[in-house]
Amino acid sequence: MTTLHRFARLGGSFLGVVAASTLGAGVALGHPESEGDHPGGCVVTAEPGAVASGGTFTVAGNFGGASIFVLPGDAAMPAEDATPDVTTPAGDSFSVTFTALGPGEITVFGLLPGSECGDSDHVTVTASVPNTATEGPVGGLDAAGAILLALGIGLGVRRARRSAEV
C-alpha cells in the first residue's frame, strides 16, 4: 500500500485554497468600495474605463445634487472656484453621459457641495477604437490563479490514481 507524504496530501489543499483566493481577488479589487476611503460614503464611477476619442462614457454616483467636473490629467483636482461641467438634480443617485474629445487621461470628480461627500474616477481616451470584444488581457493574478488551480487538480488526479491502484 502506497501512502503519500504529508506534504503531498496538504499541498493539493493548499494549492486549491491559494488558487481560489487569487481568482476571487479580481472580483473584490474591481468593486468601487475596495478602491479605498470614500468620504461621506459617496462613490463615483466612470464607465467604460477606456474609450476612443469621440466616444462616450457615463459618470454615475450613489448621491444626487452632485457637481461633476471632467478634468484633463490622471490626478487632476478642480480649483476651489471652478464651475462644474454638470450639476445633477437632488436625489439618491445620478448618471450623466459625456463625449471624450481627445486622447489622454481624464479625471472625473463628483462632489456634493458643502459636504465631505466626493469621489473621483479615471477614463483613458485613446486615439483609436478600443478592443471591446474582451474584458482585457489576463492579469498576473488571473494567470497565477489558473496555474495554481491546474496544479491542485493535477495533484488530486494523481492521488485518485494512486488510491485506485491499491
**What is the model's pLDDT at position 29?**
41
- Fold classification of 39-126 is Immunoglobulin-like (2.60.40)
Q: What is the pLDDT of residues 97-132, one digit of tens each?
A: 999 888 889 999 898 888 888 888 999 998 865 556
Task: Name the pTM for this structure.
Answer: 0.55
**What is the model's pLDDT at position 1?**
46
Q: What is the pLDDT of residues 15-54, one digit of tens each?
A: 565 555 554 544 444 434 445 555 567 899 999 989 988 8
Whether the bond into 48 is cis, omega within 30 of 0: yes
**What is the model's pLDDT at position 32?**
46
57: which 3 cell numbers? 462614457
**What is the model's pLDDT at position 115?**
83
Domain spans of the chain? 6-29+137-165, 39-126
**What is the model's pLDDT at position 145?**
79
Cβ-based neighbour number of residue 8 at 10 Å? 13
**What is the model's pLDDT at position 85?**
93
Distance CA 100, CA 54 (A): 5
Distance CA 67, CA 81 (A): 12
Q: Which of 54, 76, 55 shows the shortest CA–CA distance to 122?
A: 76
33: which 3 cell numbers? 468600495
Q: What is the pLDDT of residues 46-83, one digit of tens each?
A: 999 899 888 999 999 998 899 999 999 888 888 888 89
